[in-house]
Structure 1
Amino acid sequence: MTITQPDLSVFETLESEVRSYCRGWPTVFDRAQGSYLYDEDGHTYLDFFAGAGSLNYGHNNPVLKRALIDYIERDGITHGLDMGTTAKRAFLETFQDVILRPRDLPYKVMFPGPTGTNAVEAALKLARKVKGRESVVSFTNAFHGMSLGSLAVTGNAFKRAGAGIPLVHGTPMPFDNYLDGQTPDFIWFERLLEDSGSGLNQPAAVIVETIQGEGGINVASAEWLRKLADVCKRWDMLLIVDDIQMGCGRTGGFFSFEEAGITPDIVTLSKSISGYGLPMSLTLFKPELDVWEPGEHNGTFRGNNPAFVTATATLDTYWADGQMEKQTIERGNQIEAALRTICAEHSGASYRGRGMAWGIEFEDKSRANKIARRAFDLGLIIETSGPESEVVKLLPALTTTPDELDEGLRTLARAIRETA
């Protein structure tokens, strides 16, 4: 693909240096549909990024777009704080009927604000309020958000340093296979809990991602998750599952923890819960934990009613009949087969993932960024992840067709060959 230099002057002169994604994809995007993005010069890009997991159902999904347009055209409520609205009622009823009841999940639903990090902040605050303790355990290479409470349970040193102040009341423990199987699961964690001289204050909660997306597509096994749930139960700690990126069907089941057969005390959702890329997040928790005072955690934009509309349409369209989970698993198998072939052809490469979240890691840690840049030149949008950006990360929309997956995986294989 030949790419002319786009006019980026206003972004470079007026927008803050904090911008990041645009540096890896130096063009000006104009429109998008399904699994494709189009820039203002007419170039086409196959999107294996999906808004960092916010667009599980593709760009401008026609079913969701129709529901949104109809709602706007009838002057439906846009901004509602936490007032009762028909859009919120429809979402809550549908979420209960389609998602919670079939999975025997008794959760109360909290709208903490429109961002993932706000859902995490609410989860941490609630856990501390319920247990009357400050400490929260997280895991190596975790990512939970960019606000202060979320950063305190995030592992990435670069992101933590941006806080500018000490990040306290968070204690990291080894994630699944962090020690390459040399140490039994949770032996260090439980030893610290048992020893009154360990310096570990009794935690209020443990927060975990079942698959660490930003941390490098590190997949926790079902067995490890079950053991973690057991540790939490025995030591009177709440289990918080951060499902912001891996929930909403990304790994197959609507919740990523379903495969392990566990029921977390608190769950956070965001990104693809609205289905359309509109800001929305949820903090779910068992009813006995609902000890909030009115207004104790709030936010001006926690009632984003257009997002409720598209979220409801998403659940009705994709989750009422149980077919989405089967489709995601099938397409995940297609991705895995292609990655297996790619890694067999390139020494020092390994792959991992589940559902439609996958990564390829290279012993040469500089390879991933080179591959992502070459993929962009070839018309494929992918990002990198991991503490040193050493993992090529694939998050195609769940609605990506088999042919589109083949196209993107062929392009990825070419980018890898051409950067060897």
Structure 2
Amino acid sequence: MTIAPPAPTVFETRESEVRSYCRNWPVVFDKAQGSHLFDEDGRAYLDFFAGAGALNYGHNNPLLKRALLEYLERDGITHSLDMASTAKRTFLETFERLILEPRGLDYKVQFPGPTGTNAVESALKLARKVKGRESVVSFTNAFHGMSLGSLAVTGNSMKRAGAGIPLVHGTPMPFDNYLDGRTPDFLWFERLLEDSGSGLNHPAAVIVETVQGEGGVNVARAEWLRKLAQLCVRRDMLLIVDDVQMGCGRTGGFFSFEEAGITPDIVCLSKSIGGYGMPMSLTLLKPELDVWEPGEHNGTFRGHNPSFVTSAAALDAYWADDQLEKQTLLKGQQVEAALAAVAAESAGLGGSYRGRGLIWGLAFPDNERAGAICKRAFELGVLLETSGPESEVVKLIPALTITPDELDEGLAVLGRAVRETA
């Protein structure tokens, strides 16, 4: 008897071929709570992906859900462009009180649009406007977004190829340890700046991730970041930190650059700044850089009030003290110990691990292995993704609110997946 293949789903017949995550997790998800997603058949999956970092506080966090539902039920305004609203006022006052003032940061807040690449585009545009120069320096294996300006400072060749046109005005430099410590930090960069024959136009800015999530969980040392900040001051370049994925507590402190003790000129935030997985991004800029003309950079969805509501609720719930930061660092130690054991057990595979806080990577010289491990983990009920230029890194990015027991459960599954794919 011939068995007919299953009929194609509406996702396959109607949705674009550009879809990606659903190819690795071929189920239809229906509900989510905390650190678990549930497919339409009721099977639970432990989430070590957290919306690519947009769900630092978990799925349907009850504290944030209550604030959102109360706002919607009283007919709170949803869409307002950049008009003043009570929700925006509450967010700005809360952000100032709990985030900026305790850290001694005096940033103006720009709402550039709903996504991380909107924040990056506005930062690049502003830096060029302030300095009157076009060139921006980025780093090897960087990822800053999928729109054209962001792609120009992104390293991944596959993503860059999607632009369809030359990507200009960006110059890559070696990220921390890219040359395996064989060259002093910034030797090449500074030499190019000094040499009028180098071909490097004087940059308006440098854009950097303190931890390159999509690039393979490459962690910059605090010392390297401090030297970069000093170089920017010496050479009259603005320092932009892209904290889209690593901000909002992912590495411990609210901002990932806090550990290095630096103060960037411009900071890009998105993903978990919305708290509930709601679309929102911020561009933070030093007051003297706020040279925009009214309406010179705008967007229809830069005033999404439900995001202001859930963001303010998240700040109140998790950043009024340092408990979340302490718990994140403790859980990071839990992950590190587990990955050390996995790497030791699978020493013959050449595995290595790296990370900070609750962003970790398990890398293998065999570029196919990470994908096989993530596939097996999915079959065992854990969502993991790959990262790195060749998808050679298993990336762990669970919610900051995950429990230690859930963390142990997922790490045990990861260890099993490594063994079963060896």
> What TM-score, normalized by structure 2, do the two folds share?
0.98
Q: Which residue of 1 aligns with 2:393?
A: 391
Matched, 1:417 2:419: yes
The yes-or-no answer on 1:205 pairing with 2:186 is no
* Counterpart AA for 1:282: L
Q: Which residue of 2 aligns with 1:110?
A: 110
Report how far residue 350 of structure 1 moved.
0.2
Instruction: Determine the C-alpha separation between the residues in 1 that align with 2:275 and 2:308.
Output: 9
Q: Which residue of 2 aligns with 1:126?
A: 126
Superposition map of 1:126-205 within 5 A: 126-205=126-205
What amino acid is the match of 2:199?
Answer: G
Instruction: Give the residue type in structure 2 aligned to 1:54.
Output: A
Q: Distance in 2 between matches of 1:43 and 1:227?
A: 49
Structure 1 residue 8, shift from structure 2 partner: 6.0
Q: How far apart are 1:29 and its partner, in Å?
A: 0.1
1:248-287 Cα deviation digits (max 9, x unpaired): 0000000000000000000000000011000000000100
Name the SS for the 2:37 alignment partner: strand
In structure 1, runs of 5+ residues without a counterpart are none
1:7 Cα shift? Answer: 7.8
Root-mean-square deviation (CA, aligned residues, Å) is: 0.9
Which runs of 5 or more structure 2 residues have no equivalent in the other structure? none
Q: Equivalences for 1:9-408 in 2 at 5 Å?
A: 9-347=9-347, 348-408=350-410
Does the residue aligned with 2:149 lie in a helix, a strand or coil? helix
2-structure distance, mates of 1:279, 1:15: 21
Deviations 1:214-257 (A, max 9, x none): 00000000000000000000000000000000000000000000
Q: Matches of 2:177 and 2:313 in 1, distance apart?
A: 39
Hey, what's the Cα distance between the residues in 1 that align with 2:338 and 2:275?
27
2:398 maps to a residue whose letter is P
- The whole-number CA distance in structure 2 between the counterparts of 1:63 and 1:6 is 41
1:172-207 deviations in Å (ceiling 9; x for gaps): 000000000000000000000000000000000000
Cα distance between partner residues in 1 of 2:333 and 2:395? 16
Cα distance in 2 for partners of 1:332, 1:166 equals: 40
Rounded to whole Å, the distance in 2 between the matches of 1:45 and 1:7 is 25
Q: Deviations over 1:101-142 (max 9, x none)?
A: 000000000000001000000000000000000000000000
Percent same amino acid at aligned positions?
79
Query: Counterpart of 1:415 in structure 2: which amino acid?
Result: A
SS at match of 1:267: strand
Which residue identity is paired with 1:349?
A: G
Could you tell me the TM-score, scaled by structure 1's length?
0.98
CA distance in 2, matches of 1:202, 1:72: 49
Q: Deviations over 1:305-330 (max 9, x none)?
A: 00000000000000001111101000
Aligned residue for 1:320, secondary structure, equals coil
Contact 1:8 1:27 in 2 (8 A): no
**2:64 and 2:169 mapped to 1: Cα distance?**
41
Question: Which secondary structure state, in structure 1, belongs to the residue aligned with residue 69 of structure 2?
Answer: helix
The answer as to whether partners of 1:120 and 1:268 remain within 8 angstroms in 2 is: yes
> Residue type matched to 1:49 in 2?
F
- What letter matches 2:354 in structure 1? R
The alpha carbon displacement at 1:377 in A equals 0.2
Q: For the residues of structure 1 that align with 2:80 and 2:258, how far apart are their CA atoms?
A: 32
